[in-house]
Amino acid sequence: MGSDLEATQPYRAVLGTPLDALLALSEEDKERRGLQDTPREIFQQPETWLETIERVAGQRHDLAEFISDFLLDGSGSRPAVILVGAGTSDYIGRTISRVLRHEWACDVSAVASTELLTNLDDYILPGYRYLFISFSRSGESSEGVAVLAQALAQHPAQVCHLVVTCNENGSMAKMPGVRAVVLGGRTNDRGLAMTSSFSNMVLAGQLLAFIRKPHRFEPYARRLAEIAANKMGEMAEAAADLAAKKFSRVCFLGTGALQAIAEESSLKVLELNAGRIATVAQSPLGLRHGPLSFVDDHTLVVTFLSNTPLRQQYELDLLDELQEKRLGAEMLIVAPSRTPRIEQFKARVIVLDAPEDMHDAYLPIVDIIAGQLLGLFFSIENGITPDSPSTGAISRVVSHVKIYTPDGDLQ
C-alpha cells in the first residue's frame, strides 16, 4: 500500500453520478435543501475507513493486551461480551457479534442499552466476567451513559468496559474506569441519520475481533474500501432510479450479519423519510413466517446476498418464490459476485466483485451504503430535508430520557 494520501485519492473521484450532483450543489442550495451533511458523510466512508484502520492500529498493542487480559485472566470464571448501543448503535452490535464470537471464542451477544437500562440484572450472571463494548456516535445518549454508570456502580469487579465512539468530548469517552476507542472527527456525523459513524464503528468492531491477528483482516478491510469506492456511483444510480418510482414500502433481506444490515437499512429509509415509507427487515427464511404479508404491489424488495453458497441458495429460493407469486413491485439485489442463477432474476443487480473467500461478516460496511443511498434519494423524492428529516419526533442525540434509580426515584 502506498502513502495515506495515495491510498485516499481514488475515493475522491466519483464523477457523473446522482451523488456527485448533490455534492456539487452550491452551499446555498445544500443548506436550503438540507443536503450539507448527509451526502458528504455517505460519500466519505471509504476514505474514513482507511483512517479508522490506522487509528485502531495505533492502539493495537494496548487493546490486544486489554482484551487478552479479559479473555485469559485465569480466574476460572467464564468470559462473556455484551455489545451495547441504542437504535443504529444497537445494529452495530448485531452486525459484529458473530465475528467477535468466532474470533474470541466466547459468548458474545448484542443487547440494546434501552433493554439493559431497565433489565441489567437479567444479563449479569454469577460465574461470568463481562466486557461491555458500548457503541455511540455522540457518547451522550441518555441510556448509554446511564448503563455505563449503573454497571460501574453495581458490578465494578464483574464488568469491564470498552467504548467505541466518534466524539472524544462525549461523556462516555471521559467516564472514569472506561477504556475508549475514539474514531476520527469526520465520523461524528452532523446529519440526523448515522451513516459514516455506523460503518466506521462496525469496522472498528471488526478490527477489534482480529486485534491479536490483524494480518487476517486488514487486507480485506482495505479491499472493502476499494470495492465501496468503485461501486458508490452504481449504487447511487440505482438508488436514485428506484426512488423516482415512488414505492410506498421497502422490504430489506439479509442472512446472519447481513440481516443486521437489512435492519439498519430499514431504519435509514424510515428515519430519513420521516416515517412516510413503511419498511420491514427480515432474513429470507424468516420472511415466509408471517412478514411476507408485508410485500405487496408497491414494495421494493432489497436483498443483500451472502457470499456463502449454502446461504445463498436459501436466499435465491426465496427470491424465486417472490417472482413466481408476483410479490413485490421490483427487486434490488446486492451480490458479492455474479452467477448464472442471479442473472435469471428480473431485478436490478449490483455486483460487488468481492473475493471468493471474503466472509459475510466482512461485507456489512459496503452493503450498508446501498441502504443509506436509498434512504437519501427517497428523502429527496419525498421533498424532505435529509440532514434534518424529522418533524420533531426524533433527534440526532437522544439525551432527554429521564433516568431513575433502582428504587424508581428520579436521579
* DSSP code per residue over 114-179: HHHHHHGGGT--TTEEEEEEEEESSS--HHHHHHHHHHHHH-TTTEEEEEEES-TTSHHHH-TT-E
CA 226 to CA 206: how far, in whole Å? Answer: 17
Nearest to 146 by CA among 182, 175, 110: 175
User: Tens digit of pLDDT for each residue in 313-322?
Assistant: 999 999 999 9
Fold: same for 1-31+225-394 and 34-216: yes
- For residue 216, the model assigns a pLDDT of 97
Specify the CATH architecture of the domain 1-31+225-394.
Answer: 3-Layer(aba) Sandwich (3.40)
Q: What is the pLDDT of residue 100?
A: 98
Taking only the tens place, the pLDDT of each residue in 66-109 is 999 999 988 889 999 999 999 999 999 999 999 999 999 999 99
CA distances (Å), 182 to each of 133, 172, 191, 238, 328, in order?
13, 10, 19, 34, 42
pLDDT at 4: 38
Query: Cell triple for residue 355?
Result: 473475493
Residue 331 has a pLDDT of 98
Stated pTM of the model = 0.93
Compute the distance between CA of residue 357 and CA of residue 350 in angstroms, rounded to an integer: 19
CATH of the domain spanning 34-216:
3.40.50.10490
AA letter at 120? L
pLDDT at 9: 38
CA dihedral angle for residue 15, residue 18, residue 22, residue 26, rounded to 10 degrees = 70
Residue with cell 423524492: 381
Residue 16 has what pLDDT? 82
Angle between helices 196-209 and 218-243 (to 10 degrees): 150
| Sheet-wide strand order for 128-136 | 107-112, 78-85, 128-136, 159-165, 179-182
Q: How many Cβ atoms from other residues are within 10 Å of residue 244's Cβ?
A: 13
Q: Can you name the residues that pair with 112 across neighbouring β-strands?
A: 85
- All residue ranges of the chain with pLDDT < 50 are 1-14
Domain boundaries along the sequence of the chain: 1-31+225-394, 34-216
